[in-house]
Structure 1
Amino acid sequence: MVNYFIASSQDTFFMSNQLIGQSDINGYISALRKGCRCLELDCWDGPEDEPRVYHGFTLTSTILVKEVIEVINMHAFETSEYPLILSLEINCNPVQQRTIANYLVNILDDKLIDMTNAADDPTQLSSPEELKHKILIRCKKVQMRTCIIPGKWQLVDREVGEYRREFEPEAKSEVRSVVPAGIRAFAMKKKKKVELTMEFSNVVIYTKSVEFKDFKHSRDHQLFYESNSFSEHRAMKLVKQSACEFVVHNSKFLSRTYSAGVRKNLSNYKPHEFWNVGCHMVALNYEVPGLSMDLNRGKFQDNGGCGYVLRPDFMTNDTKFDPLSSKQNLSPVIVVIQIISGQHLPVCRTHSKTSIDACVRVEMYGIPADSAVQQTKVLLSSGCYPKWNDCLVFCVQVPE
């Protein structure tokens, strides 16, 4: 799995506003039908010992965790047969953690990966092909290590998880302006410790989430089945400061990026900036239209929209790829786009004119050296059927 980009969703339970909107079970159905292969469940304590899914410290409504898991069980492989990852944030007490673990085991049944699905090679993750129709749980857990017998595992010391709702410094002013005062008091609290129960920990087999300290620490201590999460701000800082090291890190370990804090107008960050360094799960809000989701759809329309796209060789082997370099030792391609004509363009009706001045703009997104914008000539008062017959030429150094 470490060799693939994986279509990933953030705040999957939202269909609208992330602060005061309605948590909606249809968010999960919609994302799955769009080929998403990594869903997010933000789990909190609920009344009558029934855990709920919602956005913590906000006025959003809640959904029963049980209902979410039942819906996922029904639609998990409706669009794609390749493995589905459930990325869980656990903010529950031990009793409700055990409840979630029981739901995962009893509802997902044989879809839930277990020890018998471990790879023949106990030092690497199984491939998506080997994990067809399987659901993986991604979360912090008790520590694990391999035994001498290949494919077998044993549990060791208990690990204490950390609950952390991240608000970036630049986002705090936004929170103050849009979140009611009673809610804000909770949002600014310090993080607290949440100890994971053994019952819940046992369902986390392949994608244990661990805290990222630095690249050297990961090289020396991180295990192949452990993954990292990066807020968009921290990930961008690493891209700017240590892009090559980030690429090497992602050649060995799964990584997930997410938007931290509250973004204006519920916007998504640009995913290609993190694909450029090989990040596997670049999580976006699938219900927010715009450029980011256009790029995401373009990225994952390959392979029949199954949600998995093979990363290029220079990101998976002993890589020396530098996405920020202006000169690449790869095979560039020349892309020629011929803009012929337009049809049924809307007419501008004002007191001074009844036609439009038309042009077509083409934007290329990739590594910084390949990102470019070109446009055709402007046809003045061209009417509803402009004809350009223009060619736009791009030299793409890293077509992958």
Structure 2
Amino acid sequence: MSKQTYRVCLCFKRRFRIKEAEVPSDVAELFASYSDNGSMSVDHLHRFLQEVQGEEKLTKEEAQALMVSFLSENKHHSVSQRRSLYLKEFFRFLLSGINAPLPLPPKVHQDMNCPLSHYFIYTGHNSYLTGNQISSDSSEEPIIEALKRGVRVIELDMWPNPSKDDVHIMHGGTLTSPVKLIKCLKAIREHAFAASDYPVIITLEDHLNQELQAVVAKMVHETFQDVLVCSSSDTFQDFPSPQSLKGRVVISTKPPKEYLEAKEGEDGSVRVYKSSEEVGWGKEISDLAVKLERDDGGECEDEQEDPGQAVQQSAHPEYKNLIAIRAEKMKGGIKAWLRVSSQKAHRVSLNEEKLENAVLTHGTEIVRFNQRNLMRVYPKAMRLDSSNYNPLIGWMHGVQMVAFNMQGHGRSLWLMQGMFRANGGCGYVKKPDFFLNNGPSGEVFDPNKRLPVKKTLKVKVYLGEGWNIDFHRTHFDFFSPPDFYVKIGIAGVPCDSTMKKTKTIEDNWTPVWNEDFDFPLTVPELALLRIEVHEFDISDKDDFGGQTCLPVWELKTGIRAVPLHDRKGDQYKSVRLLMKFEFV
């Protein structure tokens, strides 16, 4: 009888009990101070919201409305008889969406009557691409998605359709498939003001002959009609305001002749590189301070002309009238194109590498240029995976249009989303006054100058919950509950930027940290609070557990429920942290 080997496989399933989050001692103490006999009345809640949460202007009627709304949403059927909260209800109130860290409902509160050059503007790059910069499809769908997220600047690259008298939108010199221009225009017309009433700017990269320019002019006029802003002049003395352009669509491009004189495509798209950015949830944000340590004295390279390109003699007049914001070619060295003209305001465009080189030696001149003119910065050619760069390099030099690839995810894009959560999410954030008001001797803001601390943001991370609802339970370790930790820090000017970390709480779906952090801020007007949750994995890279980025200058003080978002930026239904914010 032959010997045989048998393999026995044992399968088992382990159930994990999800504990309900416990009330932190700070919350229990506050409840005791603002309640009587274990019950918090409307008067008590009103006083708590004013004194602890910093809601000084909140009325008693508004406090009552908040209580009623909370009790109703949480299915308390006795709401008509009861106007009070017990301890656990008060705790759940603090963890609810009603108790947000930013103003709720979102509302535009900044002055929108200043020139466009006074605002940071939510700007997209190659807005029609569905994925990478080399081989993905072109489509109107990413444009629609961007507009729904509040993006205000859409970029379209126009190329002739060789088989028809038509215009394609595509990334020239690559394997990206085309989409018809008319599809993109109709998508913009239908969704332009889905998230914001403030103007949509379409930046065009033009590779067309005069006949096709006439086709484009007719197409644009018929699509947008009276929504379109047409220019009767080649120049602006000053740019119009977002308020004056509300509900309008604006075209911005270089004069067509200059496109044919310049390199083919602003971003040199035919070069092929492999980017290491965006591995996992994204490489850590680059540190500009390291770049500033090397002062190589180099200047920004000039745009070189391509002698192989034919120079177009003139643009079709109807097409020329489409251009409301004129973008000019950078001629001469950096000193030449940074000269501020008293006669006209215009837009220039350069890639991230040229900006990084330029700010090393001409940082304050760039700030001064951007007081009146518009600057657009776009990703360098090697970002074929549609990754992005550190937007703070542009913002802290007053750059209005920091153009981003919106197709992917990663820490740089999270910063972009965080910036434009400000001002009601309208896509326009007014630059801080120090960018616009020069000092007594005419000096402008220098982002690299070490300034005294203006204020300190004190943050306490209490606890988190909701992963068992929004995540499949096997997303983390299969054989044990997750081990969560929080990374928290500031993205801002170099001396404010930092990241810190909580301890890891092992085997718990509702981790409690109770840890305090202090962030001294020299320029709080440019500071973004970065929050990430990760799950520690001893044998592999740590798993992603959520993220958010919040504009510090709009943070509400007190104990707040901070909702987390996925890698792309969509908010989870249930995952949130309970945190406390205080400025001293």
Same fold (TM over 0.5): yes
CA distance in 1, matches of 2:307, 2:260: 15
Q: CA RMSD in A?
A: 2.8
Deviation string, structure 1 residues 314-366 (Cα, Å, up to 9, x no partner): 112335211112x226x61211110112346676456xxx4665432102100
Pick closer, same or farther for the CA change 1:114–1:343 going to 2, 3 Å.
closer
Task: Classify the secondary structure of the residue corresponding to 1:192.
Answer: coil
Residue in structure 1 matched with residue 494 of structure 2 by the alignment:
368
Residues 396 and 493 in structure 2, CA contact (< 8 A), matched pair in contact too: yes
Decide whether aligned partners of structure 1 residues 262 and 214 sit closer, same or farther in structure 2, where only a CA change above 3 A counts. Answer: same
1:146-185 alignment runs, 5 A limit: 161-164=260-263, 165-166=265-266, 172=271, 174=273
Does residue 198 (structure 1) correspond to residue 316 (structure 2)? The answer is yes
Equivalent residue number for residue 98 of structure 1: 214
Residues of 2 paired with 1:13 and 1:159: CA distance?
Answer: 23
Q: CA deviation at 1:238?
A: 1.1
Identity %: 29
Q: Report if aligned partners of 1:21, 1:59 keep a CA contact under 8 Å in 2.
A: yes
Match of 2:455 among 328, 333, 340: 333
Q: Distance in 1 between matches of 2:135 and 2:231?
A: 41
Separation in 2, partners of 1:248, 1:61 = 41
Please give the residue correspondences for 1:88-167 in structure 2 after superposition, counting only pairs within 5 Å.
88-115=204-231, 123-141=237-255, 161-164=260-263, 165-166=265-266
Q: What is the distance in 1 between the residues matched to 2:308 and 2:151?
A: 30
- Listed as ranges, the gaps of 5+ residues in structure 1 are 143-157, 176-188
Give 1:290 deviation, angstroms: 1.5
What amino acid does structure 2 have at the position aligned with 1:224?
K
State the alpha-carbon separation in 1 of the partners of residues 378 and 323 from structure 2.
Answer: 20
- Distance in 2 (alpha carbons) for counterparts of 1:375 and 1:382: 18
Q: Name the counterpart of 1:44.
A: 159
1:21 maps to 136
Structure 1 segment 38-77 matched on structure 2, within 5 A: 38-46=153-161, 47-77=163-193
Stretch deviating more after TM superposition (254-263 or 37-46): 254-263
Q: Is the 8 A contact 2:340 2:369 kept in 1?
A: no
Cα contact 1:40–1:86 (8 A) shared by 2: yes
What secondary structure does 2:399 align onto? Answer: coil
**Which amino acid in structure 1 is aligned with residue 253 of structure 2?**
C
Q: 1:257 to 1:218 in 2, by over 3 A?
A: same
CA deviation map 1:276-334 (0-9, x unaligned): 11100101111211212211111111222111000001112335211112x226x6121
Shift of residue 240, structure 1, vs aligned partner: 2.2
The whole-number CA distance in structure 2 between the counterparts of 1:220 and 1:301 is 31
Task: Identify unmatched segments of 5+ residues in structure 2.
Answer: 1-115, 275-305, 468-472, 526-584
Relative distance call for 1:59 and 1:172 in structure 2 (3 A) is closer
Counterpart Cα distance in 2 of 1:117 and 1:107: 22
Contact kept? 1:215, 1:246, Cα under 8 Å: no
Whole-angstrom distance in 1 between the partners of 2:342 and 2:170: 31
Q: Does 1:85 align with 2:210?
A: no
Q: Name the SS for the 2:462 alignment partner.
A: strand
Report the CA distance shift for 1:27/1:118 in structure 2 as closer, same or farther (over 3 A).
Answer: same
Distance 1:167 1:123 in 2: 29
Establish whether residue 323 from structure 1 lines up as the match of residue 447 from structure 2.
yes
Return the alpha-carbon distance in structure 1 between the equivalents of residues 327 and 487 of structure 2. Answer: 44
Q: Is the 8 A contact 1:163 1:191 kept in 2?
A: no
TM-score (norm 1): 0.83
Cα distance in structure 2, aligned partners of 1:255 and 1:202: 22
Q: Aligned in 2, Cα 1:193/1:230: closer, same or farther, shift over 3 Å?
A: farther
Bigger radius of gyration: 2
CA displacement at 1:129 relative to structure 2: 0.5
3-state SS of 1:370 partner: coil
- The question of 1:3 aligning with 2:118 is answered yes
TM score, norm. by length of structure 2: 0.58
2 CA distance for matches of 1:174 and 1:394? 38
CA deviation profile, 1:146-183 (whole Å, cap 9, x unmatched) = xxxxxxxxxxxx867534225679x94528xxxxxxxx
Once residues 285 and 376 of structure 1 are traced to their aligned partners in structure 2, the CA distance between those partners, rounded to angstroms, is 31
Letter in 2 for 1:12: S
What one-letter code is carried by the residue in structure 1 that aligns with 2:251? Answer: I
Alpha-carbon separation, structure 2, partners of 1:218 and 1:277: 13
In the alignment, the residues of structure 2 paired with residue 112 and residue 4 of structure 1 have an alpha-carbon distance, to the nearest angstrom, of: 21
Please identify, of 255-264 and 160-169, the stretch whose mean Cα deviation from structure 2 is larger. 160-169
Match of 1:398 in 2: 523
Residue correspondence of structure 1 range 208-219 to structure 2 within 5 A = 208-211=327-330, 213-219=333-339
Report the number of matched residues. 363
Contact 2:386 2:407 in 1 (8 A): no
